[in-house]
Chains A and B, each alone.
Chain A
């Protein structure tokens, strides 16, 4: 590591380090968006892991920091795997089916970034949960 000669150099190294820590501050942020990837046996078998890694990668590429990607068990709709659920705070959740890496990146760019749903990929716009 070379010595920092100025405040600008400090800011530069801090920004680089910050990206790595975003994952932790995201959990605390108020406007957190959650992306859940169905990762039960069925999901994993149909490639959910590749999907999830693509989503994580795209989020970083686009520098989006208020999204936490998490995994969940079987969502029940195994025919449409891999399944991805997008939850905005105070909005009904949206579930996408047949999400491969390509579609995962589209979700990040269209739904998360531009607020446009991928109409052709939605399974149901929402579902009722019994608490």
Chain B
């Protein structure tokens, strides 16, 4: 074994690899080779650090120095300066935007200060393609403990006691799910890991599978032992190639060590895992649709009961758990159910991973204890709103969720509190919106998504959501009436009450919640035919502000119609009758002389 004195950890998540982190790894290795110190320094590719805003991330151990936005061409300098001479490359340190100070350690970053990483514990710490690193980080210890020291009943009891609830959005107690599946007698049972992550903007499941695939395999084996299943399926989207690749490596390595397969650790317990690829239909995240898809049938939901715990895949009792839920299982067994309960709130113990996106300074993956307020997540961790704009709303729960306004920013996040204000936890997508976002347009965006993704099996969802979208379209075109607003509410409620599965039952939520909190904005669209945020194209016009226009003619040159009139060094004017509202002039003007009204 080599005596490495230094490890350089480079993020190999999907986010950072698309900004060339793998090229950075090659450059680092080459430079280290060149300086003849390859027996001293090891370069390790890890999973996602979560701080995607500033990727690619490079962390230096044991110095605990955290470099951000590192480019391949920085490799040489890092090796020459930091690795060889021990001088930090200051320009690559994270700069705290408010205080303008450079921060060195990962723990110093405000982004990480309020986070507690349980599900993401190994992401950005170990090499996900090396089972040895996983073993060193206590991988498969929980499985060994369950198999050797605990009965099936004790395993289930521990999970019930921990209070862990489904992290895919439903919030159903995981232990109870295991218990029900365990209680149904059958010769064959199945455990399924639901990795069909579909909410726009959410990527925690992908990151866990990319950064720590073994934790999910281990948890599935524990669940298999508890409910009496010898076979597991991971249902994952084919559009997650990196996660699939790492899972395949992990499964192969676990089989080689006998941590999956026949007679695991000599205990007589058999368990193996198979991958099943989804084609990317949103509805397949719903467990009955997912099961049909695994069986090779159409991905359509069916009525419950019977529940999968009674009659699931191949008509056998089946337990379906989400990726993040499973990633929480091993720590619960290693540190105890009581420890888990000390984190989070009474009814929702533990943490939740959120994919922070939208108009916030630090987009990325954050894991916070339940009960943290939205304000803490958006302002302390997320670093506030981009360009110092005004916060307008935050959308949680994806296409099934709703909007939360400024008044509710201090509500502690858990399953119940988010439901009580008309939104939901969902899988953890969190999209922040500022004053420049039109809420009617946001609702329309989500409805376009659910309309596309509706499987078409039941009428309320198939037809109802299309009608909802048509009304919204009419409003954003400037042809809406106040009756349309009343229709939206009535139709929305009916769709919620009469749809077959979760997709239809929640699809109108973005519309209903924006109508509730931003009724004035809808009214402005239908009464005054104005879009207050200046987003809806049909309702806005571009005008030139005479006091700012210097007559540079740049706008007139890019106008494709052309409809901008004016001479050099004289104020220009837009002919509204000809303007096609393409926005080319707006993007070109260097003097902010063109406004959207």
Within 8 A of A (CB), among B81-109: 84-87
Q: Does A129 contact B (CB under 8 A)?
A: no
Q: Does A130 contact B (CB under 8 A)?
A: no
Q: Give the CA-CA distance A108 to B256 in the complex, in Å.
A: 39
Q: Is the CB of A23 within 8 A of B63?
A: no
Q: Does B125 contact A (CB under 8 A)?
A: yes
Contact of B135 among A6, A17, A23 (CB under 8 A): A17
Q: Does B470 contact A (CB under 8 A)?
A: no
The interface-forming segment of B70-78, B257-265, B274-282, B365-373 is B257-265
Q: Which residues of A contact B6 (CB under 8 A)?
A: 23
Query: What string of 1s and 0s marks CB contacts (under 8 Å) between B101-138 and chain A?
Result: 00000000000000000000000011000001101111
Q: Which residues of A contact B137 (CB under 8 A)?
A: 21
Q: Give the CA-CA distance A24 to B125 in the complex, in Å.
A: 8
The interface-forming segment of B140-148, B537-545, B557-565 is B140-148
Q: Does B306 contact A (CB under 8 A)?
A: no
Q: Does A91 contact B (CB under 8 A)?
A: no
Query: What string of 1s and 0s marks CB contacts (under 8 Å) between A37-71 and chain B?
Result: 10110000000000011001100100000001111
Given the interface pairs A10-B140, A13-B135, A17-B135, the reply to whether A3 lies near B256 with Cβ below 8 Å is yes
Residue of A nearest to B6 (CB): A23
Q: Is the CB of B63 within 8 A of A70?
A: yes
Q: Does B1 contact A (CB under 8 A)?
A: yes
Q: Could you tell me the dominant secondary structure of chain B's interface residues?
A: loop
Q: Is the CB of B86 within 8 A of A36?
A: yes
Q: Which residues of B contact A13 (CB under 8 A)?
A: 132, 135, 257
Q: Is the CB of A23 within 8 A of B7?
A: yes
Q: Is the CB of A53 within 8 A of B5?
A: yes
Given the interface pairs A71-B84, A71-B85, the reply to whether A3 lies near B63 with Cβ below 8 Å is no
Residue of A nearest to B81 (CB): A73
Q: Which residues of A contact B138 (CB under 8 A)?
A: 14
Q: Give the CA-CA distance A69 to B140 in the complex, in Å.
A: 30
Shortest CB–CB separation between residue A17 and chain B, in angstroms?
4
Q: Which residues of B contact A10 (CB under 8 A)?
A: 135, 140-141, 144, 259, 265
Contact of B85 among A24, A39, A56, A57 (CB under 8 A): A39
Q: Is the CB of B7 within 8 A of A24?
A: yes
Q: Between A and B, how many residue pairs show CB distances below 8 Å?
A: 102
Q: Is the CB of A40 within 8 A of B85?
A: yes
Q: Is the CB of B62 within 8 A of A70?
A: yes
Q: Which residues of B contact A3 (CB under 8 A)?
A: 256-258, 261
Q: Which residues of B contact A60 (CB under 8 A)?
A: 3
Q: Is the CB of A27 within 8 A of B266?
A: no
Q: Does B339 contact A (CB under 8 A)?
A: no
Q: Is the CB of B256 within 8 A of A7?
A: no
Q: Is the CB of A27 within 8 A of B63?
A: yes
Given the interface pairs A7-B144, A53-B40, the reply to whether A71 lies near B86 with Cβ below 8 Å is yes
Q: Which residues of A contact B86 (CB under 8 A)?
A: 36-37, 39, 70-73
Q: Is the CB of A18 within 8 A of B62?
A: no
Q: Is the CB of B3 within 8 A of A5?
A: no
Q: Is the CB of B62 within 8 A of A17?
A: no
Q: Is the CB of A17 within 8 A of B132?
A: yes
Residue of B nearest to A6 (CB): B266
Shortest CB–CB separation between residue A43 and chain B, in angstroms?
9
Q: Is the CB of A26 within 8 A of B62?
A: yes
Query: What string of 1s and 0s marks CB contacts (under 8 Å) between B1-25 and chain A?
Result: 1011111010000000000000000
Given the interface pairs A3-B258, A17-B133, A53-B40, the reply to whether A27 lies near B84 with Cβ below 8 Å is no
Residue of B nearest to A54 (CB): B3
Q: Does B314 contact A (CB under 8 A)?
A: no
Q: Which residues of B contact A23 (CB under 8 A)?
A: 4-7, 61-62
Shortest CB–CB separation between residue B534 and chain A, in angstroms?
48
Shortest CB–CB separation between residue B253 and chain A, in angstroms?
8
Residue of A nearest to B82 (CB): A71
Q: Which residues of A contact B435 (CB under 8 A)?
A: none
Q: Is the CB of A21 within 8 A of B133?
A: yes
Contact of B259 among A4, A6, A16 (CB under 8 A): A4
Within 8 A of A (CB), among B147-180: 147-148
Residue of B nearest to A70 (CB): B63
Q: Does B497 contact A (CB under 8 A)?
A: no
Q: Which residues of B contact A21 (CB under 8 A)?
A: 126, 133, 136-137
Please give me the 7 A-B residue pairs with the lowest Cβ-Cβ distance, nearest first.
Answer: A3-B258, A68-B62, A71-B86, A17-B136, A21-B136, A17-B132, A27-B64
**Interface residue ranges, A against B (CB under 8 Å):** 1, 3-7, 9-10, 13-14, 16-21, 23-24, 26-28, 36-37, 39-40, 52-53, 56-57, 60, 68-73
Contacts A28-B64, A52-B5, A56-B3 aside, 4 further interface pairs with beta carbons under 8 A come to A1-B253, A18-B135, A71-B86, A73-B86
- For this complex, 9 residue pairs linking A to B, each with C-beta atoms less than 8 Å apart, are A3-B256, A10-B144, A17-B136, A20-B1, A20-B136, A21-B137, A27-B63, A27-B64, A71-B85
